[in-house]
Each structure stands twice: as C-alpha cells, then as structure tokens.
C-alpha cells in the first residue's frame, strides 16, 4: 500500500483493482460491501473501486 493512502477509502481504491476482474467495493450509507458485481447504477451508493 502506498504511504500516501491514509484513509480507508484510499486503501480500498488501491487494493480492489488488484483483485481478479469483476470485484467491486460499494459504499452505502452505513456499510461498505465488497463483492463480485458489474452493476454500478446505485443512486443511493458510491462505487469506490472496481477490479
């Protein structure tokens, strides 16, 4: 992990692209989920990273 990645979001954005293709990290209002997904159309959520 790069030394300048000091937030959870920064770490996630760096790590998830290193997973096998198809994984996605999505932040909802109260949780973060990491799962295999191709859908990024969640108006209530933010896709943080995708592999």
**% of the chain with per-residue pLDDT over 90:** 16
Local confidence band at 20 (pLDDT 50, 70, 90 cut-offs): very high
Give, as one character, the DSSP assignment of residue 7: S
pLDDT band at 45 (very low <50, low <70, confident <90, very high): confident
Average of pLDDT values for 10-39?
86
2 in a domain, yes or no? Answer: no
* Inside any domain, residue 1: no
pLDDT value of position 43: 78
Residue 16 domain-assigned (yes or no): yes
**Model pTM?**
0.63
> Is 31 within the bounds of a domain?
yes
> Is residue 13 in some structural domain?
yes
Number of folded domains in the chain? Answer: 1
Interval 1-30 mean pLDDT:
86
Core vs surface per residue 16-50: b (16+ CB within 10 A) or e = beeeeeebbbbbeeeeeeeeeeeeeeeeeeeebbb
The domain in which residue 39 lies consists of 8-50
Whether residue 21 lies inside any domain: the answer is yes
């Amino acid at each position: 992990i790069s030394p300048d990645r000091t937030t959870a979001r920064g770490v996630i954005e760096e790590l998830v692209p290193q997973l096998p293709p198809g994984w996605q990290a999505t932040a909802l209002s109260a949780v973060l989920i990491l799962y295999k997904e191709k859908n990024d159309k969640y108006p209530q959520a933010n896709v943080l990273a995708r592999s």
